[in-house]
Structure 1
């Protein structure tokens, strides 16, 4: 199992991995979860997939097992910034409520958003924990390299059950919300303990 952090400046070094990550996102979010998201050429994407973001792929023998997108909270592209902030500002027009955070969404070069997190549904249950640990290791390592001291994420409300087991120190920064197919909550993940 390998982890690769992709950016627009290095994706040419990784063959089909970038496209395969977006194909795996389509399988996870559009096919499996039935979310209404943009797609083209068998790939899922949105307005936050810009050169400002980074994508972490956990892969094995060409198959994408899991993925994560990291976007700086200072990002700007037209009217968009990052998903959590744009939801709070009411410009997404979708199913994410504006009151998803207790306070204003951060705009800070040391805070990055973690989004489009998925694990392939083809992975057997006994292998999933290993994939989760690899995801956390890659996410925290990449975020630290990008200068992040904190990540924010809109994640499944079951996060308290597994974040600690994976070595993540996090706290809720918003209420539990029903969105599309489940309960979600915004969390802040502290990376300062991982800065060494």
Structure 2
């Protein structure tokens, strides 16, 4: 098992991994969770998968086990910025606008993590190891991009997992039913991971 942070600049170095990342998202969000999302050729994507984003993949060769998208909160593409902020501004029908207690930040030191998933094909005995690897690589990558905080819309149970692996994860909004319980959190990258 390895972890790779993908970008438009390096995807040519990783064979099918980039496409397989979007196929794994399709299997998780459209196939398993039955979310109504854009798709083509068995790959799920949206308006936030731009050249400004980075995608962290935990994989076994080219088979994707888990992943997350990182996007700078300062990025804009047309009317869109980042998913949490756009939801708060009422631009997204599928995510309630009251997902944060305060205004969504726009700052170079804050990145958004979104579309976090672990494949349903990961055995129960391996899930914690895969989740730890994903969080570990996400933190390393976000720090390399200059982030000291990450804002994420994550499953409602994930803050407990974050604490188990040493992340300072604080709910930043109410738990909402968005295809299952989800909550916005702020993750400080200043604390040391165990």
DSSP 3-state at the match of 1:143: helix
Number of equivalenced pairs: 193
Query: Is 1:132–1:166's contact at 8 Å kept on the other side of the alignment?
Result: no
Contact 2:167 2:191 survives alignment (8 Å): no
Is 1:132–2:113 an aligned residue pair? Answer: no
- Cα separation, 2, equivalents of 1:139 and 1:164: 15
Give, in whole Å, the separation in 2 of the partners of 1:25 and 1:159: 18
TM-score by length of 2: 0.97
Query: Where does 1:2-151 land on structure 2 (aligned, <5 Å)?
Result: 2-92=2-92, 94-151=93-150
In 2, Cα distance between the equivalents of 1:9 and 1:159?
30
8 A Cα contact 1:68 1:116, kept in partner: yes
CA deviations 1:30-51 (Å, max 9, x no partner) are 0000000000011000000000
The match for 1:175 is 174
Structure 1 ranges of 4+ moved more than 6 A: none
Note the aligned Cα RMSD (angstroms).
1.1
> For 1:105 and 1:32, how far apart are their aligned partners in 2?
29
CA distance in 1, matches of 2:62, 2:102: 41
Q: Match for residue 187 of structure 1?
A: 185
Give, in whole Å, the separation in 1 of the partners of 2:128 and 2:182.
21
Deviations 1:33-92 (A, max 9, x none): 000000001100000000000001111132111111000000100000000000000011
Any stretches of 5+ residues in structure 1 without a counterpart?
Answer: none
Q: Is the 8 A contact 2:166 2:192 kept in 1?
A: no
In structure 2, how many angstroms separate the alpha carbons of the residues matched to 1:40 and 1:178? 26
SS of 2:187's partner is: strand
Query: CA offset at residue 162 of structure 1?
Result: 1.4
